[in-house]
Structure 1
């Protein structure tokens, strides 16, 4: 499979380190990770899955990890699977040609589609969903809660110095946070204060 996967991902700009492939795309880090199961039950033993991760390369905002990112800190994620399955694992030792073709097809078709949502910081900000249903659908597609998608838009708007949009999306994140309201209340207050402080320095 390595002879198929490595050239395919190399052509798309990914660079390999062990079982992890990374690239940087206009302000986002993209990752394709071949994860070996750590679960020793009969269902998962000796199997692997393929995970996609994406994260805006910004920090300094409350709730966002500091750069460089560590494993598990990427905001957006998806596990690759066929036929709308939520979870798919392949055998490591008994990987048939049909499995390799299936994986090659997934990486050829689904990978570009999923990463297209975070192709660049500029495009991400310009394509901010305007309707609640569209927002929920985009959040589900990117594997994140709507409140975190809204907060990501707020942080990126702030990075691009679009302060009014940033404030609006921070409020939307708080409104969508539900059970995480306490966490987001603190994040949003710190976030807004940082913008106020920056504006005060620009307009003393």
Structure 2
């Protein structure tokens, strides 16, 4: 050990608070992915490709993505975040993306964070034990809680919010506008051949959309017409 480094260590011991235990970085993002994240998410049924983990759960696709910052400002440089995505595996409805889904097309999304934070980033090359425990906790508990809202198409339809406040709270939790949450319920009801429920939720989607949502409204009206035509064929 050089004289300079030994002097620095002595200085640190003198200036740290009494009782403080100096914590060295435990791992970086690559070792975190290999030793912690991959085994944990594998047990939950996710399959990995690079830093993206996917699974299919009874009609929904779930995604966990570890995103490196592309922002070179001092606040985000050299950091990463964890994003959750979910989308019903339904196709053919106006405004919904075609399957298979591409990046950025998932309807529901959430960035993982602790203590009610909206945005949290960790250092790519310097993850401390406290960081690792924090991430393990999020992937063990918060991840399951968030994906439980879209555990299956059947459960999603059965748990459709009935009150406006509950609808707004659920939409906020899933990271989507209330009008899109209503339209998702409408599309899933249509997939399950519950056409009356689908029409009701389509009307709710139109009521919840903003005055500038012309394309969205057009898609929902096209959806309603298709359901109306199907009902007319069933009841000539």
TM-score clears 0.5: yes
- Interval of TM-score (by shorter of Structure 1 and Structure 2): over 0.9
- Deviation of 1:201 after TM superposition, in Å, equals 3.9
Q: Distance in 2 between matches of 1:179 and 1:199?
A: 29
- TM-score, normalised by the number of residues in structure 2: 0.84
Superposition deviation, residue 184 in structure 1: 2.7
Residue 181 (structure 1) shift: 3.5
Aligned residues: 204
- The alpha-carbon deviation at position 95 of structure 1 amounts to 1.1
Find the aligned partners of 1:81 and 1:195 in 2 and give their Cα distance.
Answer: 40
Deviations 1:75-107 (A, max 9, x none): 000000011100000000111121111100111
| 3-state SS in 1 of match to 2:86 | strand
Q: How does 1:5-154 map to 2 (within 5 A)?
A: 5-154=37-186
Deviates more, 1:181-190 or 1:145-154: 181-190
State the distance in 2 between where 1:179 and 1:86 align: 27
Give CA deviations for 1:140-181 in whole Å, capped at 9, x if unaligned: 000000000000000000000000100010010010001343
Instruction: Give the TM-score taking structure 1 as reference length.
Output: 0.97
Cα separation, 2, equivalents of 1:183 and 1:130? 26
- C-alpha contact (below 8 Å) 1:174/1:181 kept by paired residues: no
| Structure 1: gaps of 5 or more residues | none
Retained in 2: the 8 A contact 1:39–1:45? yes
Q: Report if the CA contact (8 A) 2:195-2:231 is conserved.
A: no
